[in-house]
Amino acid sequence: MTISNKALDLFVERIALIKSYEESLGLLYWDLRTGAPRKGMDVRSEAIGNLSGQMFKLATAPELGEWLSELEQSDTYEGLSEIHQRLVTETRKEYDRSVKIPPKLYQEYVVLTSQAESMWEEAKANSDFASFEPYLDKIITYTNQFIDLWGVKGTRYDTLLDMYEPGMTTAELDRVFGGLREKLVPLSAAIANSPHQPETGFLKQQYAKEAQKKFSLFILEQMGFDFTGGRLDESAHPFATGLNPGDVRITTRYLADDVTSALFGTIHECGHALYEQNISKDLIGTTLCTGTSMGIHESQSRFWENVIGRSMGFWKRYFGDLQQHFPNQLDVSVEDFYRATNVSQPSLIRIEADELTYNLHIIIRYEIEKQIFNEGVKASELPALWNAKYKEYLGIEPENDGEGVLQDVHWSGGSFGYFPSYSLGNMYAAQITDTLEREMPNFWELVESGNLIPIKEWLTDKVYQYGKLRTPSELITSITGKSLDPDYLFRYLEKKYTDIYKL
Amino acid sequence: MTISNKALDLFVERIALIKSYEESLGLLYWDLRTGAPRKGMDVRSEAIGNLSGQMFKLATAPELGEWLSELEQSDTYEGLSEIHQRLVTETRKEYDRSVKIPPKLYQEYVVLTSQAESMWEEAKANSDFASFEPYLDKIITYTNQFIDLWGVKGTRYDTLLDMYEPGMTTAELDRVFGGLREKLVPLSAAIANSPHQPETGFLKQQYAKEAQKKFSLFILEQMGFDFTGGRLDESAHPFATGLNPGDVRITTRYLADDVTSALFGTIHECGHALYEQNISKDLIGTTLCTGTSMGIHESQSRFWENVIGRSMGFWKRYFGDLQQHFPNQLDVSVEDFYRATNVSQPSLIRIEADELTYNLHIIIRYEIEKQIFNEGVKASELPALWNAKYKEYLGIEPENDGEGVLQDVHWSGGSFGYFPSYSLGNMYAAQITDTLEREMPNFWELVESGNLIPIKEWLTDKVYQYGKLRTPSELITSITGKSLDPDYLFRYLEKKYTDIYKL
Ligand SMILES: [Zn+2]
Ligand SMILES: [Zn+2]
């Protein structure tokens, strides 16, 4: 017992140390992306590399393995608090995953992906898949080596999925994505054929940046973003980062000729931020003090951006405020604005896609990744595969690979298994909304009256506070009483778009 | 030879690693002081503590001592490059200093000074020296223990001086400060008695912050501050921090009712920044990549702030620009502005003191610190000692300890030996200016025509590029051909103030 207490202390101290590195590295990255002087970036990257290396050493040290083994003894484990139990389980998973990759192999892979990212940027700009193909091919080979080293449970692709969405499997995704795709493809086609297409021209005018910023700050405040525990900055690619629950930073980008980009971007990142700001204080200093998965994180950003932010109720309350910021540009009705910001149409570029077709972009990527790792499809086959799927599900085809298979950065960094998170987020969000509407019958009244705080509090109670203390499937089951069901998302989209497009 | 090469590689790699921690910690501190959300500060402080602890471990590890010993073997050492030789010498000094303090003792001291800083803040606000005295007493006791552990060479106070100004001794400071004091006291008295006191009321009007900022940025550009390798932010207490030569950050604070505070503060910090931005690229990744001492660093900030920034030549060129920024407030002649920004009068508060009397504030602190460590003067004796010296040198006495012995933060943090740096900076600056005027005969023409870049380049050549590669005394001797001589500063001040006050 004394020995185990000692092991527990050392273990907890090590985790806190690792968390300090994570927080520091988080700040170094935030700084690089928000305003670090260009000339210092090479040296800064070295510093990041050095600190990451130190953290990796601490996270893979033999003594950590020994403490874990001690704490996993059933007598000892049973005596641990819920937080410490989960911390042991989580750390074991990360530890095993990390120590199984030989450092030299990992180093080669880091160099490869770093080169590949540069090559990808050029290849995308030139729509030149051939120049990127050998890199992609090697990244797939390395990833397959990692899968072998980690050990396959279920299918090979499951091993990758589990990194971003713990417990998620190809079988489960086949079920939910399959169900969704079957229904979304005809719905999307019906929308495209509707004679009632919204007018959107007024969104593309000159919108002064300062006024956009003011309105963004106003909406953040309305959503309950805590400015004493966070801040809003600008960056080329918007992101949210939770350094600790008292320091959660989001960024946005203001486009002078588009009022919706920064607006919905800010609401989206604020959804991520509300999650990070409201994690229980009990988890501070542990690696559980973050969102439980990419999919659940996206469910929160997308709940706020789409379910709330793109709802008629929200704009009934806030459109007047937005008009006051842009009196010359927004001389339209709230219905016109609502319909314009909810246009749905097949498109080639994922990050510009609407709430509905976005899911088809993701399902295409999921099916391709699954084929790569479970069926041995080669890098060289991807452009044709990509184009065929876009034709089949969205009815359109890229004119070149720059707007096709080369459009996303993810594969050049080796992030296979990440894409499904986005649509999982949409599905989780719709399913949680269904419960929310039932448990809080005045939900839409609250939105229409701009009383968003009780909604944030409900989500804190159900989702945010737990951090990584509950797995995604535990969370969705405990909240909604059911496992993940794609029909919630479909019914939500069907209802919304039937109304907008008068189907 | 093979063994030594191996030791050299490991040594250089370790130094680079330590430098990465320094850079990361520098960013963490910068962030805390420029806009980190309040709520996250406790957790951030833990992260800083954890990373500092890790850096300390790496800097005091036995293997580092072994590599040093190997590299110090005369055969090996002679074969090293100049940079590596200096790196070995510097690191040995730091290493010995650090390993001599038992970690437990140091930990107690860190806790003590952290408490003492809070206590000091309260004590200062209440002018209550009694509440701070026991803390100050303990800090002195700990410092004396450290001196014993480090080993005394010369006097006990020399051991402290050497931390901030390598090679500086009490004997040397007695000589230079003694010489300076004897001449400054009567000069200051003559100024106070002059009937020609400048009019300063116009400086204290409303000066819009945005216009102040615009002018600050303009002056930074004129001075050759590299914005692609640096940035300007705001903070409560202005500072400069060189994270690496390509990322040097300065801060300022804009006072709405005082146009000079941010202006001269920015020029001062830019002086520090020019030093850090122009260190040779060869020193990047080593602990030599920073200013060589506090005194030399201050010589650069003070050269730019006082010698250049408070000169008639500078304002002949730039006063018109400043007037354009504040046409309603600055309807005065350039002579009036010059005289107003060079008022000299005895005052109680160091940080508000002018260029001349500032040195007397420093000499008082120097003499007191020397008495504490070389003569055993007790904390309880300090208020009386302080007040007597202010009376003697400046002719005025504090009404309470808040504006007297409690005014500075330094002692609460244990920074004994730091104060002399400020006046050393003034002396170095005046002595370097003398050489500069002789080697660059058109120096003042350049200033008057706003052509400051050649001056920056001369200083890069003589000072900046070397970083810590030359010691302060090597530097001053190599530039001016003489060791430190306080008469340069006195003659500079005498000339300037005789003119302004028509003595
Ligand atoms: Zn997101
Ligand atoms: Zn300074």
Q: What is the pLDDT of residues A260-317, one digit of tens each?
A: 999 999 999 999 999 999 999 999 999 999 999 999 999 999 999 999 999 999 999 9
**Catalytic site residue from A133, A269, A305, A367:** A269
- How far apart are alpha carbons B79 and A11 in whole angstroms? 45
**Catalytic site residue from B22, B172, B269, B367:** B269
Test B247 with A43 for CB contact under 8 angstroms: yes
Are A468 and A337 in contact by the 8 Å Cβ rule? The answer is: no
φ, ψ for residue B298 (rounded to 5)?
A: -65, -30
φ, ψ for residue A360 (rounded to 5)?
A: -70, -35
Q: Which two tokens stand for residue A190?
A: 């019906």
Q: Is B367 annotated as a binding residue?
A: no
- How far apart are alpha carbons A438 and B160 in whole angstroms? 70
Chain B environment of A21 (Cβ under 8 Å): 50-51
Q: Which two tokens stand for residue A412?
A: 């050049």
- How far apart are alpha carbons B165 and A321 in whole angstroms? 60
Does an H or E element contain B390, and which? Answer: helix B382-394
- First CA to last CA across chain A, in angstroms? 68
Are A297 and A239 in contact by the 8 Å Cβ rule? The answer is: no
Chain A CA closest to residue B35:
A231
**pLDDT tens digits, one per residue of B230-250:** 999 999 999 999 999 999 999
Are A277 and A7 in contact by the 8 Å Cβ rule? The answer is: no
3-state secondary structure of A249: strand
* Residue closest to B187 by CA, chosen among B472, B470, B489: B489
Residue B186: is its pLDDT beyond 80?
yes
Which residues is A379 bridged to in the sheet? none
Chain B environment of A289 (Cβ under 8 Å): none
Test A17 with B231 for CB contact under 8 angstroms: no
- How far apart are alpha carbons A181 and A177 in whole angstroms? 6
Residue B170: is its pLDDT beyond 60?
yes
**In which residue ranges of chain A is pLDDT below 50?**
1
Test A44 with B16 for CB contact under 8 angstroms: no
Chain B contacts in chain A segment 145-174 (CB below 8 A): none
- How far apart are alpha carbons A373 and A155 in whole angstroms? 9
Distance B272 CA to ligand 2 centre (A): 7
Q: Is B335 annotated as a binding residue?
A: no
Q: What is the CA radius of gyration of chain B?
A: 23
Distance B305 CA to ligand 2 centre (A): 10
Distance B269 CA to ligand 2 centre (A): 6
- How far apart are alpha carbons A317 and A326 in whole angstroms? 16
The ligand with the least distance to the CA atom of B429 is: 2
Are A189 and A173 in contact by the 8 Å Cβ rule? The answer is: no
Question: A54-60: long-range contacts at Cβ-Cβ below 8 A with a sequence spacing of 24 or more?
Answer: A54/A21, A54/B17, A54/B54, A55/A18, A55/A21, A55/A22, A55/A25, A56/A98, A58/A14, A58/A17, A58/A18, A58/A21, A59/A18, A59/A94, A59/A95, A59/A98, A60/A95, A60/A98, A60/A99
pLDDT of residue A114: 87
pLDDT of residue B103: 86
Q: Which two tokens stand for residue A332?
A: 């339209």
Amino acid at B333: S
The ligand with the least distance to the CA atom of A425 is: 1
Q: Is B361 annotated as a binding residue?
A: no
pLDDT of residue A201: 93
Burial environment of residue A256 by CB neighbours within 10 A (0 to 12, 13 to 18, 19 or more):
exposed
User: Does residue B375 carry a catalytic annotation?
Assistant: no
Query: What is the DSSP pairing of strand B230-234 with strand A240-244?
Result: unpaired
Distance A230 CA to ligand 2 centre (A): 31
Residue B1: is its pLDDT beyond 60?
no
Are A339 and A127 in contact by the 8 Å Cβ rule? The answer is: no
Buried b (16+ CB within 10 A) or exposed e, B156-173: bbbbbbbbbbbebbbebb
Does an H or E element contain B72, and which? Answer: helix B62-72
The ligand with the least distance to the CA atom of A268 is: 1
CA distance A20 to chain B (A): 4
φ/ψ bin of A285: left (φ > 0), alpha (ψ from -120 to 50), beta (otherwise): left
pLDDT of residue A4: 63
Q: What is the CA radius of gyration of chain A?
A: 23
**pLDDT tens digits, one per residue of B413-437:** 999 999 999 999 999 999 999 999 9
- Average the pLDDT over B173-178 and give the result: 97
Q: Could you tell me the sign of the dihedral formed by the alpha carbons of A481, A485, A489, A492, in that order?
A: negative
Distance A305 CA to ligand 1 centre (A): 10
Test B231 with A37 for CB contact under 8 angstroms: yes
Instruction: Identify the residue among A13, A14, A20 best suited for mutation to test binding to B, counting B beta carbons within 10 A and taking the highest.
Output: A20
Chain B contacts in chain A segment 284-323 (CB below 8 A): 284-285
- How far apart are alpha carbons A416 and A113 in whole angstroms? 12
CATH code of domain A201-346+421-500: 1.10.1370.30
ipTM of the complex: 0.93
E strands present in B219-292: 230-234, 240-244, 247-252
Question: How many CB atoms are closer than 10 A to CB A478?
Answer: 12
Chain A contacts in chain B segment 13-72 (CB below 8 A): 16-17, 19-21, 23-24, 27-28, 31, 35-44, 46-47, 50-51, 54
Query: What is the DSSP pairing of strand A247-252 with strand A240-244?
Result: antiparallel
Amino acid at A328: N
Query: What is the DSSP pairing of strand B240-244 with strand A247-252?
Result: unpaired
